[in-house]
Amino acid sequence: MRALMPRTLVAVTMVAFVSSSILPAVAQAGIISTASTFGFDTQEARSANLAKVQAQLARAEVQKSLAAYGVTPEQVQARVAALTDREIGSLAQRIDQAPAGADGGILAVIGIVFVVLLILDYIGVIHIFTHRR
Amino acid sequence: MEPARIELTAVPFFPQDRYQCGPAALATVLAATGVAVTPDELVPQVYLPGRRGSLQAELVGSARRHDRLPYILASTTDALLREVRAGYPVLVLQNFGFRSAPIWHFAVVVGFDPAHRQYILRSGTKARETLAAGRFEATWRRADSWAMIALTPPQLPADTDSQRYLEAVSGLEAAGRAQPAEMAYRAGLSRWPDDPRAWLGLGNIAWSQGHWREARTAYRELLRHEPDNAAARNNLALALLREGCRELAEEEIGRALASAGSGRFALAVADSAAEIRASPDVGPKDPAACEDH
């Protein structure tokens, strides 16, 4: 309980700060969104408001990451807007390790194998390439 | 008895360019639902140049931007094949490397051949790839058995997990796709009549469009089945306030405060209560609106 006090204080400050700066209209902030009712334990002490603030911060973080990975500024907005707070939350925590389906790895492996074979062939360990002399 | 062979032959194929299996696989499942889209058009929506690949979450987000309902499957081959049998091509993540040195790849499962124990996929540059069941399942398991389908609302998945479905719809709603989300919630109600989560979603969509009366009806419908739902009670009070029914709004927010107790919506409801108390009583815009209570 004692540990909770400063966190609550920080949360309240953040709510005040964020709702006055990022959220478009304070008056519209009252509605409880459908998405926020999923994925929580009803007994969870953390309030929905705090979760909302954390989601705002995580969103900014993910936007920064996408931009750093080379996404154009106009796409960053739209891409992040298509994700739920939960999705943003888990991306913010581990976007660097999140799987990025690429297939680049397979090409890299093939490339390395090819170079190794070429070297072995060149120094005479194996003979698989046709040499013209 | 051995299950029947299934292959969704009508699913289109887009050969991938280098690194771009994400856009190619996503284009495959979207085009199968009738979206006119090519992988190149999806690159700006899902490709991460710095990672030379695409993230699962962004495929989900992009599907929403095309008004499709991305639905993440339970991580079992049964769940996967059930959707294929229902006619939905399944976008899967595979890991051809090791857990410690992964080689990620997105592909689309379009069929299964029980006689040869083979999965049939659209994958990479292969329009029809067959993978031995053991091999496919190993690569899929190393990617945490992640699989997704793209539903066109009001389509429902073969899966009957209401929580999974309605949470997926709430994602579509959160992404601002009101119209398909509304259709999807209604489809949900047709399968799970009176589900409070679907009613809350319908109310919130009506709210987001400024249709206070419609929002109220949905919240009331929910509260008829779940009188202690603090979220619906809070939102109902705010909808009443928007219509100028201040007295009713105060009454409802009082009930919302009681329902919220010290739970996770306590702060949000307290905010609403403060907003209602602070608002000037200008009287209803339409007095009749406050009477049919």
- What pLDDT score does B289 carry? 80
| Residue B121 · residue B107 · CB < 8 Å | yes
| Residue A124 · residue B88 · CB < 8 Å | no
Searching chain B, which residue's CA lies closest to the CA of residue A87? Answer: B57
- What pLDDT score does A109 carry? 59
Task: Find the mean pLDDT for residues A34-52.
Answer: 65
Cβ neighbour number for residue B96 with a 10 Å cutoff:
17
Please name the residues between 20 and 59 in chain B that touch chain A, using a CB distance below 8 Å: 21-22, 25, 44-46, 48-58
Tell which residue, B129, B232, B168, B98, has the closest CA to residue A83: B168
Q: Do B141 and B199 have their domain in common?
A: no
- What pLDDT score does A42 carry? 41
Q: Do B198 and B147 have their domain in common?
A: no
Structural domain including B274 reads: 194-279
Q: Do B134 and B54 have their domain in common?
A: yes
Q: Do B12 and B85 have their domain in common?
A: yes
A1, A103, A113: best mutation site toward chain B, by most B Cβ within 10 Å? A103
- What pLDDT score does B293 carry? 53
Using the predicted structure, report yes or no on whether residue A25 has a pLDDT greater than 70. Answer: no
Contact A48 B102 (CB under 8 A): no
CA distances from B83 to A6, B31, B124, B131, B185 (A): 48, 17, 22, 18, 20
Q: Do B205 and B272 have their domain in common?
A: yes
Contacts of B170 in chain A (CB under 8 A): 33-35, 37-38, 84
Contact B48 A82 (CB under 8 A): no
Q: Do B140 and B275 have their domain in common?
A: no
Instruction: Tell me, yes or no, whether B71 lies in a domain.
Output: yes
Task: Find the mean pLDDT for residues A100-114.
Answer: 65
Please list the pLDDT of chain B residue by residue as tens digits (293 residues). 678 999 999 999 999 877 789 999 999 999 999 999 999 999 999 999 999 999 999 999 999 999 999 999 999 999 999 999 999 999 999 999 999 999 999 999 999 999 999 999 999 999 999 999 999 999 999 999 999 999 999 999 999 999 999 999 999 999 999 999 999 999 999 999 999 999 999 999 999 999 999 999 999 999 999 999 999 999 999 999 999 999 999 999 999 999 999 888 898 999 999 999 999 888 787 788 887 55
Q: Do B122 and B29 have their domain in common?
A: yes
Q: What is the 3-state secondary structure (H, E, C) of chain B?
A: CCCCCEECCCCCCCCCCCCCHHHHHHHHHHHHCCCCCCHHHHHHHHEEHHHCEEEHHHHHHHHHHCCCEEEECCCCHHHHHHHHHCCCCEEEEEECCCCCCCCEEEEEEEEEECCCCEEEEEECCEEEEEEEHHHHHHHHHCCCCCEEEEECCCCCCCCCCHHHHHHHHHHHHHCCCHHHHHHHHHHHHHHCCCCHHHHHHHHHHHHHCCCHHHHHHHHHHHHHHCCCCHHHHHHHHHHHHHCCCHHHHHHHHHHHHHHHCCCCCHHHHHHHHHHHHHCCCCCCCCHHHHCCC
Contacts of A47 (CB under 8 A, 6+ apart): A11, B264, B265, B266, B267, B268
Q: Do B16 and B82 have their domain in common?
A: yes
Using the predicted structure, report yes or no on whether residue A45 has a pLDDT greater than 70. Answer: no
Is residue B68 within 8 angstroms of chain A, CB to CB? no
CATH number for the domain spanning B221: value is 1.25.40.10
B140, B233, B264, B277: best mutation site toward chain A, by most A Cβ within 10 Å? B264
Q: Do B62 and B125 have their domain in common?
A: yes
**What's the domain count of chain B?**
2
Q: How far is A26 from chain B (nearest CA, A)?
A: 9
Contacts of B45 in chain A (CB under 8 A): 75, 78-79
- What pLDDT score does A2 carry? 44
Instruction: Tell me, yes or no, whether B237 lies in a domain.
Output: yes
Q: How far is B288 from chain A (nearest CA, A)?
A: 24
- What pLDDT score does A103 carry? 60
Torsion of CA B108, B73, B103, B55, to 10 degrees: 90
Task: Find the mean pLDDT for residues A10-21.
Answer: 45
- What pLDDT score does A34 carry? 93
Contacts of B56 in chain A (CB under 8 A): 98-99, 101
Tell which residue, B65, B42, B32, has the closest CA to residue A101: B42
Q: Do B24 and B112 have their domain in common?
A: yes
Using the predicted structure, report yes or no on whether residue A18 has a pLDDT greater than 80. Answer: no
Is residue B18 within 8 angstroms of chain A, CB to CB? yes
Instruction: Tell me, yes or no, whether B140 lies in a domain.
Output: yes
- What pLDDT score does B121 carry? 98
- What pLDDT score does B285 carry? 75
Q: What is the 3-state secondary structure (H, E, C) of chain A?
A: CCCHHHHHHHHHHHHHHHHHHCCCCHHHHHCCCCHHHCCCCCCCCCCHHHHHHHHHHHHHHHHHHHHHCCCCHHHHHHHHHCCCHHHHHHHHHHCCCCCEECCHHHHHHHHHHHHHHHHHHHCCCCCCCCCCC
Give the ipTM: 0.90
Q: Do B131 and B217 have their domain in common?
A: no
Q: Do B263 and B204 have their domain in common?
A: yes
